[in-house]
Amino acid sequence: MSEAITATAVSKRFWKLDEAPTLVGSLLNRSSRTELWALRDVSLTLHAGEALGVIGRNGSGKTTLLKLLAGITQPTHGRIRVVGRVAPLVSVGVGFRAEMTGRENVLLNGMLLGLTRTEVRQRFDQIVDFAELWDFIDTPVKFYSSGMFVRLGFAVAVHTSPDILLVDEVLAVGDIAFQVKCTERIREIQDRGATVVMVSHAIGAVRAISDRVLLLDHGEVRSDGDVEEGIGRYHELLSSDRSENLERVMSEGEKIYTGGATIVERRLIGPHGPMHYAHRDQRLRVEASVRFDTDVESPMFAMQVIDQSGHVVYAKHSRISFEYHRYRAGQEAEMSCEFDPALGGGTYWARCVVLSNDGRRILALDDRGEAFFIEPTKGASGAADLGGVVLVDGIDTDVLAEDEEARAQSLRQ
Amino acid sequence: MAAPPSILELDNRPQSWGSLLRELWRYRDVAYELSRTDFRARYKQASFGILWALAVPLLQAAVIAVVFARIAHLGGRDFNYPVYVISGVLAWNYFAMTFGTASAAIVDGADLTGKVWFPRLILPAIPTATNAVGFLASIVALVIITPLLGVGLGPQLLWLLPACALVLLFTLSLSALIAVLHVYLRDLRYMVQAGLLVWFYATPIIYPARVVHLPGGLFDFNPVTGMVDLFRLATLGPAATQAAMGGEGDITRAVIVSVVTVVVITALALELYRRHDRLVSDLM
């Protein structure tokens, strides 16, 4: 396999300025600047046909990496080599002019993405077909809804037949049906042998497309390789961010944190072993090893599920009948809790808590929690997934939609 | 079918002169399309489109010609003042209008530069090109108006070609130079506006150079003087042009200053783009 992308010890420095740089300011020696390393010593080799998902928190350097690969900026140290035609999908509709029609914007946008005028003309029908915008193609885009705008922009980008497709977050926009279409289209491009680099917060999208994950943190590579491992470590990073917040939530009310026990180890187990990604139909189990640091009389064990904003969406305590059980300092206990993740799509944390007998003191708080991602159910939204079924004239609309997708699939083949 | 794969190689060094020029050539169609879109978008709303681009500077020149001839008595018997003013104002107007927009084009184009690569020199080139359409049309109008104002045309009209070329190149190179500096010095926008105001009055456009007695032909060292002189040479002819300049002025010297200035600024601008082409988006 030939190398499509090679980054050798790439670092990128930005200058963070307190205010816009001015001539007067620099003459008066007033401008102060601090350096900011968006990437540090990042090396990466991507073979043609590979699909890399780049994940990391905000400011971890993901977008900078993409901009370097797109040639928008150059590295401060190190070297970058990109072989092949690059389609930078850093945002959709680059160069779109509001007062120009869809037709005119397709031409300009396509050329900005590296097509020749003739190539855009040849692909024009396909592009408009994909965007499903024939009715509005001669309307100025300022009259487009944001969904239509995104559809047109994306349609152009995915029809550039690139050797390398760089995707930044764009899948997070548009309606679900169009998102699915986009993901399929990216897979098609991939199947034709193109290399894909995708930056996203949407773990679902990363999983759907990548066969390799690069985790960046503060501009450094934390993990490069296995998708599950990368996502797991990303969730660890996320939960370390939240620990402070979680502690605050826990100390609210009458409970106070006193210590007295430590959670030594914890795991999140799905039907096929440790996991961080689940469907609502799969049963999950949290397991934890607790070590008591002092003698404790009849403690309470609890499992909590916390959502992205730090709220406890579910909690389960051990039964009070578990009385008269006494742990000595140094003794360990194994607890586990099985539950149905009937939650709306998103990232959650499952954690274990050990409380005093009266439930007023927290002895051990597994503040890092184990993160997991629940895949959103099509057509469902809200905090919980209660498994609703919509019938119209006695027909299950979900089944209908699946049939239609299957039919579309068979038509394509 | 199988074209050689394009290879992008980046490190912290400035790009080579060859690569700078190759990239500009490779993106010529993009530059054209961006300019065309800019032009169409600009005149789409106005019902007479391009006519406005033509009418406004002509009207402005006409007003100045009438007002200053009547009030300030800046004209003279030995040259046609209205033609003198109109030819000067048209050239200046194109330069000033374009320079004002183009010198901020990279900063104003941040939504493009952050998302897609193309040589940044294209950005200041766009208003230079779109405004040139109106400018060239107004020069055609000048050729039509000149005999109506009582000045016979002659073979000296050919001077219009180098005159226009010089103005276009000067506008492009200076705009390009300031546009990249503007990224690093954001107050240049205001300095450009202020500078243009002073520059307008420091150039013999509405007044003939002979009414202001500058020692040693100092006017000729203003690069715009040589350019407006060429427009007068083309319309009024050498004798009347020299008369308006007065004894101190020397048209050859003024044109040489203009040409040298354009060459120097172009070289400076290209050198700056060679070093900063892929860095300007970092500061947006």
pLDDT at A251: 44
Residue, of B13 and A250, whose pLDDT is higher: B13
Mutate to test the interface with A, among B43, B117, B118 (most CBs of A within 10 A): B117
Give the 3-state DSSP-derived string for B198-254, with helices as H, strands as E and coil as C: HHHHHCCCCCCHHHCCCHHHHHHHCHHHHHHHHHHHHHHCHHHHHHHHCCCCCHHHH
Check if A9 contacts B (Cβ < 8 Å). no
Task: Please answer whether residues A106 and A156 qualify as being in contact, where contact means their C-beta atoms are separated by less than 8 angstroms.
Answer: yes
The whole-angstrom separation of Cα B54 and Cα B136 is 9
Cα torsion angle, A92, A97, A102, A106, sign: negative
Which of A14, A99, A111 lies closest to B33 in CB terms? A111
What are the residues whose beta carbons fall under 8 Å from the beta carbon of B6, sequence distance 6 or more? A83, A84, A85
A323 pLDDT higher than 60: no
Q: Judge: A23–B191 Cβ closer than 8 Å, yes or no.
A: yes
Question: Which of B76-90, B123-137, B188-202, B249-263 has the weakest average pLDDT?
Answer: B76-90
Specify whether the CB–CB gap between A31 and A2 falls below 8 A. no
- CB interface of A with B, residues 58-77, below 8 Å: 67-68, 70-77
Q: Chain B contacts of A108, Cβ < 8 Å?
A: 33-34, 37
Residue B109 to chain A, least CA–CA distance (Å): 9
Judged by CB atoms closer than 8 Å, whether chains meet at B282 and A15 is answered as yes
**Residue (of A27, A28, A36, A31) closest to A18 by Cα position:** A31
Is the CB of residue A12 less than 8 Å from the CB of residue A68?
Answer: yes
User: Residues B34-69: pLDDT tens digits?
Assistant: 999 888 888 776 666 677 778 888 888 888 888 887
Average pLDDT over residues B81-106: 93
Q: How confident is the model at residue A357 (pLDDT cuts 50, 70, 90)?
A: confident
Q: Backbone dihedral region of B120: left (phi > 0), alpha (psi from -120 to 50 degrees) or beta?
A: alpha
Q: Inter-chain contact A72–B115, Cβ cutoff 8 Å?
A: yes
What's the pLDDT at A387? 83
pLDDT of residue B34: 92
- How many angstroms separate the CA atoms of A298 and A300, rounded? 7
CA distance B100 to B108: 12
User: Which residue would you say has higher pLDDT here, A68 or B249?
Assistant: A68
- Report the alpha-carbon distance of residue B2 to residue B246 in Å, rounded: 65
What mean pLDDT do residues A113-140 have?
A: 92
Interface residue B47 vs chain A (CB under 8 A): no
Q: H or E element: which one contains B273?
A: helix B251-276
Q: Which two tokens stand for residue B210?
A: 């002979």
Contact A72 B114 (CB under 8 A): yes
pLDDT tens digit sequence for A146-165: 778 888 888 898 888 889 98
Tell whether B45 lies on the interface with A, counting CB pairs under 8 A.
yes
User: In terms of CA atoms, which chain B residue is nearest residue A71?
Assistant: B117
Alpha helices by DSSP H, listed for A11-59, are 23-27
Provide DSSP, A154-182.
HHHHTTS--SEEEEESGGGSS-HHHHHHH
Q: How far apart are CA A6 and CA A405, in angstroms?
A: 38
Residue A173 reports pLDDT greater than 80: no
**Block residue for tokens 């500078």:** B195
Average pLDDT, chain B: 89
Alpha-carbon torsion A113, A117, A121, A123, what sign? negative
Contact map slice: B 90-129 vs A, CB within 8 A: 111-118
According to DSSP, residue A334 is labeled E
CB atoms within 10 A of CB A218: 15
Are the C-beta atoms of B221 and B257 separated by less than 8 Å? yes
Cβ within 8 Å, pair A22-B44: no
- From B49's Cα to the closest Cα of chain A, the distance in A is 14
Which residues make Cβ contacts (< 8 Å) with residue B201, sequence separation at least 6? none
Please return the burial class of B88, using the count of CB atoms within 10 Å of its CB with bins 0-12, 13-18 and 19+: buried
Q: How far apart are CA A299 and CA A224, in angstroms?
A: 42
The verdict on a CB contact (< 8 Å) between B12 and A21 is no
| Better-scored residue on pLDDT, A8 or A91 | A8
In A206-345, where do the E strands start and end?
Answer: 212-217, 220-225, 256-257, 261-270, 273-274, 277-278, 284-292, 296-297, 300-306, 312-317, 326-327, 332-339
Partner residue opposite A112 with nearest CB, options B7, B30, B114? B30
What is the token pair recorded at A44? 């990466």
Write down how long chain A is: 413
CA distance B171 to B168: 5
Q: What mean pLDDT, rounded, does chain A reach? A: 82
Residues of B in contact with A88 (CB under 8 A): 115-117
Q: Considering the entire predicted model, what is its pTM?
A: 0.74
Question: Which phi-psi region, left, alpha or beta, contains residue A69 (left: φ > 0; alpha: ψ -120 to 50)?
Answer: alpha
Q: Read off the tokens for B279.
A: 């860095």
B104 has a pLDDT exceeding 60:
yes
Chain A: residue whose CA lies nearest to B3? A84
Task: Give the Cα separation of B203 and A143 in Å (integer).
Answer: 46
A410 — pLDDT class (breaks 50, 70, 90): low
Instruction: Let me know: does B126 contact B105? Beta carbons within 8 Å.
Output: yes
Q: Are A2 and A192 in contact (CB under 8 A)?
A: no
| Beta carbons of A80 and B118 less than 8 Å apart | no
Between CA B137 and CA B131 the distance in angstroms is: 10
CA A171 to chain centre: 10
Q: What residues of B are in contact with residue A22 (Cβ under 8 Å)?
A: 185-187
pLDDT for the residue A312: 81
Q: Searching chain B, which residue's CA lies closest to the CA of residue A17?
A: B283
Of A73, A100, A116, the CB nearest to B29: A116
DSSP conformational letter for A309: T
Burial class from Cβ neighbours inside 10 Å (0-12, 13-18, 19+) for residue A19 reads exposed
Residues 127-186 of A with CB under 8 A from B: 163
The Cα of B4 is separated from the nearest Cα of chain A by a number of Å equal to 9
pLDDT higher than threshold 60 for residue A182: yes
Contact residues for A139 (Cβ-Cβ < 8 A; gap 6+) = A101, A102
- pLDDT recorded at residue A1: 58
The pLDDT confidence band at residue A311, using thresholds 50, 70 and 90, is: confident
Three-state secondary structure call for residue B196: helix
Per-residue pLDDT at A250: 47
B4 inside 8 A of chain A by CB:
no
Residues A189-239: tens digit of each pLDDT: 888 889 999 888 767 778 778 889 999 999 999 989 888 888 888 877 876
CB B156 within 8 A of CB B256: no
Query: Which residues of chain A from 99 to 118 reach within 8 Å of chain B, CB to CB?
Result: 99-100, 104, 107-108, 111-113, 116-117
> Does A90 contact B at CB distance below 8 Å?
yes
A112 closest CB neighbour out of B10, B116, B279:
B116
Cβ-count burial A102-115 (b if 16+ within 10 Å, e if not): bbbbbbbbbbbbbb
Longest Cα–Cα distance in chain A: 82
Q: Are A372 and A341 in contact (CB under 8 A)?
A: yes
CA distance A66 to chain B (A): 10
A193 touches chain B (CB under 8 A): no
Q: What pLDDT is recorded for position A180?
A: 74
Within an 8 Å CB–CB cutoff, is residue B41 touching chain A? yes
Residue A317 confidence (pLDDT): 82
8 Å CB contact between A268 and A370: yes
Residue A247 — very low, low, confident or very high, per pLDDT cuts 50/70/90?
A: very low
Which residue of chain B has the CA closest to A99? B41
Q: Write out residues 20-39 of A within 8 Å (CB-CB) of B.
A: 20-26
What phi, psi does A268 have (nearest 5°)?
Answer: -115, 120
B interface test, pick of A6, A77, A112, A164 with most B CB neighbours within 10 Å: A112
User: A83 CB near a chain B CB, below 8 Å?
Assistant: yes
Instruction: For residue range B198-235, list pLDDT tens digits in order.
Output: 999 999 998 888 888 777 778 889 999 999 999 999 99
Per-residue pLDDT at A345: 80
- Chain A residue nearest residue B114, CA to CA: A72
Q: With an 8 Å Cβ cutoff, are A25 and B187 in contact?
A: yes
Residue A367 above 70 pLDDT? Answer: no
- B33 CB within 8 Å of a chain A CB: yes
- Three-class SS state of A83: strand
Percentages of chain A per state (helix, strand, coil), in multiples of 5: 30, 35, 35
**Of all helices (H) and strands (E), which one includes residue A82?**
strand A77-83
ipTM greater than 0.90? no
| Cβ–Cβ gap A73/B188 under 8 Å | no
